[in-house]
């Protein structure tokens, strides 16, 4: 699934082109996504100017004066710029057409979403999909003390607490494994048992892991491409534990172990990340 670095990389790519331009046409080729694309959406936004492109968690927010288009890339989706003359590919379900640029939403599994939040309904942050999201990891308020206070009393495993998204957003399955390895925290550790000192270490590990991924454009999917159509390369080249089950730990040479938590694969070093 595209995670925060992939979505942020996409946001930066579309923002440099969409912002300030008139969306000549929004075209829906396949409305059957995770939630149906509203039938009236093309008429609602075609001919209007894009004011800005933002991100909240894994949601892209394309802002117009009269509302916000909420886009989620689902499990395997991408939003890429395509040449004006390029034929639409299979699984290209929606298109944003500007005078000198076009973007296509590609989503083979159709787990993504394209929704509309009207400005008359209030701030987009109050939308049901966004209202309960946790803090952004690069927000200055995401501190060791914040994490410690939010984890208190939680008996669930720390990996699961990070994935829940109600404490901090964007630390998805792959980046959680990497950050926990960097922090030397076992993914099965009870979240509420972490001390302030270990929370400090974990916060720094999350910021470092996500920061490196952003620098490289991210790569949580083998077929992930960013807004310019370029593939990500971060985890293909630099992962410490992800998809390295049985391979020697880069620190101690102990074989990396794979377990399943909440139906998601977790990778860790049993020696470096003792409980």
**Catalytic residue positions, numbered:** 2-3, 58, 264
What does the angle CA 272 – CA 203 – CA 162 come to, to the nearest 5 degrees?
80
Contacts of 32 (CB under 8 A, 6+ apart): 110
Taking phi over 0 as left and psi of -120 to 50 as alpha, with beta for the rest, 208 belongs to alpha
Question: Which residues, other chains included, contact 80 with Cβ-Cβ below 8 Å and sequence gap of 6+?
Answer: 103, 104, 106, 225, 226, 227, 228, 229
Phi, psi of 169 (to 5 degrees): -95, 155
User: Beta-strand (E) ranges in 98-145?
Assistant: 102-106, 113-118
- Spell out the residues 6+ positions from residue 2 whose beta carbon is closer than 8 angstroms to its own: 10, 58, 73, 74, 76, 77, 78, 218, 220, 221, 224
Residues 39, 41, 44, 48: is their CA dihedral positive or negative?
Answer: negative
Q: What is the token pair recorded at 178? A: 């990497």
């Amino acid at each position: 699934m595209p995670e925060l670095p992939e979505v942020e990389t996409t946001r930066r790519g579309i923002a440099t082109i969409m912002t300030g331009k008139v969306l000549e046409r929004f075209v829906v080729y396949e409305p059957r996504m995770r939630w149906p694309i509203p039938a009236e959406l093309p008429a609602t936004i075609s001919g209007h100017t894009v004011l800005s492109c933002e991100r909240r968690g894994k949601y892209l927010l394309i802002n117009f004066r009269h509302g916000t288009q909420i886009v989620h890339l689902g499990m395997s989706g991408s939003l890429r710029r395509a040449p004006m003359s390029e034929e639409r590919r299979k699984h290209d379900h929606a298109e944003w057409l500007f005078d000198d640029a076009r973007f296509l939403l590609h989503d083979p599994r159709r787990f993504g979403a394209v929704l509309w939040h009207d400005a008359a309904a209030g701030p987009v942050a109050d939308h049901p999909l966004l209202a309960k999201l946790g803090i952004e990891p690069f927000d200055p308020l995401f501190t060791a003390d914040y994490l410690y206070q939010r984890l208190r009393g939680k008996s669930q495993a720390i990996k699961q607490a990070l994935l829940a998204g109600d404490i901090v957003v964007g630390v998805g399955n792959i980046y959680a494994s990497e950050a926990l390895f960097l922090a030397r925290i076992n993914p099965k550790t009870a979240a509420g048992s972490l001390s302030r000192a270990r929370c400090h270490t974990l916060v720094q590990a999350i910021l470092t892991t996500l920061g490196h991924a952003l620098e490289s454009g991210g790569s949580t999917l083998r077929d992930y491409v960013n807004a310019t159509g370029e593939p990500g390369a971060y985890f293909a080249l630099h992962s410490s534990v992800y998809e390295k089950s049985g391979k020697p730990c880069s620190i101690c040479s102990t074989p990396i172990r794979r377990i399943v938590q909440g139906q998601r694969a977790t990778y860790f070093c049993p020696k470096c990340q003792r409980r």
